Amino acid sequence: MSLLDMTAVELAAAIKAGKTTAVEATKEVLAQIEAKEQLYHCYVTLDKEAALAQAEAVQAKIEAGELTGPLAGVPVAIKDNMCTEGMLTTCSSKILGNFVPTFSAEAVLNLQKAGAIILGKTNMDEFAMGSTTETSAYGETKNPWNPEHVPGGSSGGSAAAVAAEECFYALGSDTGGSIRQPASFCGVVGMKPTYGTVSRYGLIAYGSSLDQIGPLAKDVTDCATILEVIASHDTKDSTSVERQDTDFTKALVEDVKGMRIGIPNDYFGEGLDEEVKSAVLQAAKVLGEKGAIIEYFDLSLVDYAIPTYYTIAAAEASSNLERFDGIKYGYRTEDYAGLHNMYKKSRSEGFGEEVKRRIMLGSFVLSSGYYDAYYLKALRVKALIKKAFDEAFAKYDVILGPVAPTTAPKLGESLADPIQMYLGDIYTIAVNLAGLPGISLPCGKDSKGLPIGLQLIGDCFQEKKLIQTAYTYEKARGEFPMAAKEVC
Amino acid sequence: MANIISDETIEYVGILAKLELSDEQKEQAKKDMGRMLDYIDKLGELDTEGVEPMSHVFPVQNVFREDVITNSDTREELLVNAPEEKDGMFMVPRTFE
């Protein structure tokens, strides 16, 4: 078995047992990047020398017994919207094309303390605004299952890097599905934890009330292990939640007897691809055979989640992105006449189309005269959506459905019609509005050979039920090899 | 299209958003925003009378701490990222004429 085929947990165990070293693993993954990166373009920034230097330092600490954790010595890729001290952090935007942070995101620091080796920064939709990774200012990432298709987004580089074995695992961020949807399109496992579980300190904000960092990995065990490492209470993030139950790996138990699983009828209506539908329902059947109680129910309000989300996310984005002004960091225009013209020109030249579209919409819905009708209205509907989930979780432990209505679309097919692209977020977006945890894992392939994702949604703070259900399904399903093994 | 965005509105949004748009971009932005608002208007179908707007999904409280400095002076490092700096400060264009 090649080192590259190992999961993160398997690799750390092999390093610990002296069967290989962090340096050896880093060299292998760098060689894989060398061979595949030109085709897939998963990364915006790579620092091979720094990765090897980290690997040597980490290996020494492992041998000295100072690093003993389940991820020690494993190379990781970080989405390019998380600050990394001394390493370029662009958010895949021209406006941050030269930004080198002076500090690292808390989630990245937590990984480094656990002995992670940072390979580089992965490509994404600009400022995480998009569902295909095509809005990146640095070119598109290709889906390793078929390079004519998108990897999904916005964490498309992270998902593709895991699938192409250009890293052992990756961090992503999820504002409306940006971890779960690319995980689904690339045939990997991705998890968005409960809002507040992972510190947002050092995550460049898009929609602050919705953003969460989470893992993209080869299997459920890796996912639970990574989440356990990155979850922490952080006083530098005022919405960070103090939790005692972050020992997520305890939930890696193969048992769903009596687990109440609800399937929303409204997730299986118009627009859902037949092959996706049948693969997801087959997964539900597998869980039923393992002893879970499967029931159908009406979640309600599903069609209202997307307009609610785009109102709130655009409003928060317009406020968050005000900081990019050409003064403190990032791009400044060459020619300008006075301060305000400098702001306007720097921002107009530095931001891409989708980002500008959302900033303008956000500015509009927050402007006086429209604030009540649009922004407050959306916050009221958000309360109704949260209530609908509360009622569902009074009856069920887990909600099961698809991640996205289709498998990965072809490159170039999505951006022409933004609203059509937004509709692809229909099953993931409400989870962010309600602050819930969700996991996406592979449950089959369509006739084109593209992966299909199964989504499990839990009540707030119930990650363990999700992990247990996902783990049990994964065991029953059997191995789902990475794209690198199947098609590359 | 139910929502027609006027030239005045897109001009005003440009000021709020601090974005400069060409005439062509303005026309496109008017169309895009109109379509998006038509779509968002779907929320009007729901009766939200008496529903409190929800900012946070969890009950959150103000987080207080003592006003004690915990970080060190990183002025030099921070200024490295500035497009222009002078005498240890961010340099901005003339603000008053």
Within a domain: residue A44? yes
Residue A486 has pLDDT above 90, yes or no: no
The continuous run of DSSP H or E covering B42 comes out as none
Calculated CA dihedral for residues B14, B15, B16, B19, nearest 10 degrees: 50
Domain covering B7-45: architecture: Orthogonal Bundle (1.10)
Is residue B96 very low, low, confident or very high in pLDDT (cuts 50, 70, 90)? confident
Q: What is the rounded distance in angstroms from the CA atom of residue B20 to the CA atom of residue B13? A: 10
Question: Looking at the predicted structure, is the pLDDT value of residue A240 above 60?
Answer: yes
For residue A207, what are the domain limits? Answer: 3-261+395-486
Closest chain B residue to A85, measured at CA: B77
DSSP state of A374: I
How close A35 gets to chain B, by Cα (Å)? 33
pLDDT above 70 for B97: no
Percentage above 90 pLDDT, chain A: 97
ipTM: 0.95
B59 confidence band (pLDDT: 50, 70, 90): confident
C-beta of residue A452 within 8 angstroms of C-beta of residue A110: no
Please, what sign has the CA dihedral across residues A56, A59, A65, A66? positive
Give yes or no for a cis peptide into A155 (omega within 30° of 0).
Answer: no
- On the question of pLDDT at A250 being above 70, the answer is yes
Of B19, B40, B78, the CB nearest to A360: B19
| CB-based contact A359:A352 (threshold 8 Å) | no
Q: Could A327 and B57 be called an inter-chain contact, meaning their C-beta atoms sit closer than 8 Å?
A: no
Give me the residue label for tokens 């009828």.
A265
Residues 6+ away with beta carbon under 8 Å from A479: none
**What pLDDT is recorded for position B79?**
96
Q: How many CB atoms lie within 10 A of CB A192?
A: 34
Is B63 or A262 the better-scoring residue by pLDDT?
A262
- A79 catalytic? Reply is yes
pLDDT at A22 over 80: yes
Answer yes or no: is A198 within a domain. yes
Q: Residue B31: closest CA among chain A residues belongs to which residue?
A: A357
A136, A154, A199, A240: the active-site residue: A154
Read off the pLDDT of residues A176-233 as tens digits, 9 standing for 90 and up: 999 999 999 999 999 999 999 999 999 999 999 999 999 999 999 999 999 999 999 9
Say whether pLDDT at A1 is over 70.
no
Asked if residue A250 belongs to a domain, the reply is yes
Mean pLDDT along residues B40-64: 91
**B33 Cβ under 8 Å from any chain A Cβ:** yes
Tell me, what's the pLDDT at A487?
78
Report pLDDT digits (tens) over A302-341.
Answer: 999 999 999 999 999 999 999 999 999 999 999 999 999 9
pLDDT in tens, A96-119: 999 999 999 999 999 999 999 999
- Across A82-239, the runs of DSSP E, i.e. the strands, are 117-122, 169-174, 189-192, 212-217
The CATH number of residue A123's host domain is 3.90.1300.10
Tally of helices (H runs) and strands (E runs) in chain A:
16, 11
Best CA proximity match to A32, nearest among A156, A154, A40, A118: A40
Q: Average model confidence (pLDDT) for chain A?
A: 97
Residue of A nearest to B12 (CA): A364
The two counts, helices (H) then strands (E), for chain B are 3, 2
pLDDT class for A488, splitting at 50, 70, 90?
Answer: low
Torsion of CA A434, A437, A441, A447, to 10 degrees: 0
Query: What is residue A412's three-state secondary structure?
Result: coil
Q: Is residue A375 part of a domain?
A: no
Is the CB of residue A405 less than 8 Å from the CB of residue A276? yes
The answer to the question of residue A331 being in a domain is: no
Bridge partners of residue A213, in order along the sequence: A173
Helix (H) or strand (E) holding A159: helix A156-163
| Interface contact flag, B13 A209, Cβ < 8 Å | no
* Domain-wise residue ranges, chain B: 7-45
Structural domain count of chain A: 1
- Rounded Cα distance between A411 and A104, Å, is 33
Does the annotation count A178 as an active-site position? yes
Q: Using the beta-carbon criterion (under 8 Å), do B13 and A367 form an inter-chain contact?
A: yes
Amino acid at A205: A
Residue A458: strand pairing partners: A398
End-to-end Cα separation, chain B, in angstroms: 45
pLDDT for res A84: 98
B60-75 burial code (b ≥16 CB/10 A, e <16): eeeeeeeeeeeeeeee
**pLDDT tens readout for residues A132-189:** 999 999 999 999 999 999 999 999 999 999 999 999 999 999 999 999 999 999 999 9
The nearest CA of chain A is from the CA of B59 a distance in Å of: 10
Q: What is the pLDDT of residue B1?
A: 56
List of chain B residues whose C-beta atoms are within 8 Å of the C-beta of residue A233: none
CB contact at 8 A, A280 and A457: no
Q: Flag whether residue B61 sits within 8 Å of chain A, measured between CB atoms.
A: no
Contacts of A109 (CB under 8 A, 6+ apart): none
- A209 counts as catalytic: no
Mean pLDDT is lowest, of A408-422, A442-456, A466-480, for: A408-422
Q: Could you tell me the two tokens for A290?
A: 């393992």
| Structure-token pair, residue A465 | 């039920």
Nearest-neighbour CA in chain A from B35: distance (Å): 8
Catalytic residue among A104, A131, A173, A178: A178
In the beta sheet, which residues pair with residue A260?
Answer: A293
Annotated catalytic residue within A79, A121, A142, A464? A79
Q: CA–CA distance from A339 to each of A335, A461, B16, B95 (Å)?
A: 11, 47, 15, 6
First to last CA, chain A: 16
Residue of chain B with shortest Cα separation from A338? B93
Which residues of chain B make contact with A383, given a CB cutoff of 8 A?
Answer: 51-54
